[in-house]
Amino acid sequence: MDNSYKIKVQHVTKEYDLYKSQAEKLRAFFSLSNSTVPHFWSLMGISLEVKPGETLGLIGVNGSGKSTLSNIISGIIPQTTGTVDVRGDTSIIAIGAGLRGNLTGLENIRLKALMQGLTNPEIDALMDDIVSFADIGDFLYQPVKSYSSGMKSRLGFSIAVHVNPDILIIDEALSVGDDTFYQKCVDKISEFKDEGKTIVFVSHSLKQVEILCDRVAWIHYGTLKEIGATADVVKHYREFTKWFKGQTKKEKKHFQRQMKTNQKSFDIDAYQKQVTEERQAAAPDDPNVAAEVKKDFYGSVISEKMSWGNRLLTFGVAIVFVLACLVNVSGHSVSEVLQNPGSIVHPETVLHDSNKTTNVK
Ligand SMILES: Nc1ncnc2c1ncn2[C@@H]1O[C@H](COP(=O)(O)OP(=O)(O)OP(=O)(O)O)[C@@H](O)[C@H]1O
């Protein structure tokens, strides 16, 4: 097995349909095409590796796709195309993910730890440590939906670092805590690093990134702008933000609109063709390149969009289900209803033989 990486992300894209309402979503489901619905590509082909024991920072402006990427790596949302290969004995844990609003803090601790594969006695043994690290007092007995974002972050972080995960995904968790909690988290992350664990760290705080990360990936409006040593990437990102801040209001708007337009007009087929051509140029004698690229793009994803065959099948099953319910309440047998469908809506009409109906009233 290739142990040069812990996480490998290849040609990952994420497409969202921008429906204006539930009704529009429903219409698109039953219509022949949803081409009128605008599409938005949150990620437009990200490929990167995270090495074992490495802390990789993800930086980028608001809406650039950092959380989308970290959620795809954590398995919280599926990618539209591409592969995500997570190596080894992986217990991957994302701090904010999986807290249930209707359950109390205590119940959430047990649930999330059970989902990580811990047994009840193991959880009992860890409970005091988790509770004391989170330090949220009596809120522990309240439903999580009543928590502030800082409290959720405290609880999520505490659970995540105590269940001994192989890979830790930290998305903005440190930005909401106070100074004491922040320092506790930084110490815990450093402990993790010393133990050789792999961390993906999403943050807007370049200072935190500089302290904690070995390498940094700069995600820029759905693309990977740069990946490399922390000092280099952070320097280039600072230059970009300085340049951006120096623009007039109108120029900033124009730039952002241009970036979003690119994300709306992204062509996945053209991207696949480009990757195929690049690989063919590198291996001109390999006849399987196109098939391999297709497999890399679509081999490990389940289509989020239903094929037409499946839509028709779903529609057919729904009709049969409704008919079955109507037959049931009408009090007639299936054969009667099949011979005289009107008996469903006019229950007083029954069929005595195949040719004649009699009104029983
Ligand atoms: N469910 C969704 N439907 C439509 N668009 C979405 C959805 N989720 C995210 N997006 C869009 O995808 C883009 C990337 O969002 P994401 O949250 O990954 O960015 P981010 O870099 O983490 O931003 P921030 O730094 O503000 O947290 C944004 O433009 C966002 O509006």
User: What phi-psi label fits residue 265: left (phi over 0), alpha (psi between -120 and 50 degrees) or beta?
Assistant: alpha
Is a pLDDT exceeding 90 seen at residue 298? yes
Kindly give the distance from the C-alpha atom of residue 204 to the centroid of ligand 1, in angstroms, as a whole number: 14
Question: Quick one: 204 and 132 in the same domain?
Answer: no
pLDDT at 323: 75
Give CA–CA dist 308/31, Å, rounded. Answer: 10
Q: Is 198 in the pocket of ligand 1 (CB under 6 A)?
A: no
Question: Quick one: 206 and 107 in the same domain?
Answer: no
Select the more confidently predicted residue: 176 or 180: 180
Mean pLDDT of 154-173: 86
Q: Is 13 in the pocket of ligand 1 (CB under 6 A)?
A: no
Q: Is residue 60 part of a domain?
A: yes
pLDDT at 160: 87
Query: Whose CA is closest to 219, among 69, 40, 14, 49?
Result: 69
Q: Which domain holds residue 327?
A: 308-359
pLDDT at 356: 44
> What CATH number is associated with residue 71?
3.40.50.300
Kindly give the distance from the C-alpha atom of residue 62 to the centroid of ligand 1, in angstroms, as a whole number: 8
Give CA–CA dist 88/108, Å, rounded. Answer: 27
pLDDT tens figures, 227-240 = 999 999 999 999 99
Q: Is 165 in the pocket of ligand 1 (CB under 6 A)?
A: no
pLDDT band at 361 (very low <50, low <70, confident <90, very high): very low
Q: Which two tokens stand for residue 196?
A: 């050789």
Kindly give the distance from the C-alpha atom of residue 343 to the centroid of ligand 1, in angstroms, as a whole number: 53
pLDDT band at 81 (very low <50, low <70, confident <90, very high): very high
Select the more confidently predicted residue: 345 or 144: 144
Question: Quick one: 128 and 146 in the same domain?
Answer: yes
ipTM over 0.95: yes
Select the more confidently predicted residue: 264 or 92: 264
pLDDT at 360: 39
Give CA–CA dist 278/284, Å, rounded. Answer: 10
Question: Quick one: 211 and 337 in the same domain?
Answer: no
pLDDT at 357: 44
CB 192 within 8 A of CB 222: no
- The number of folded domains in the chain is 3
Other beta carbons less than 10 A from residue 56's beta carbon: 24
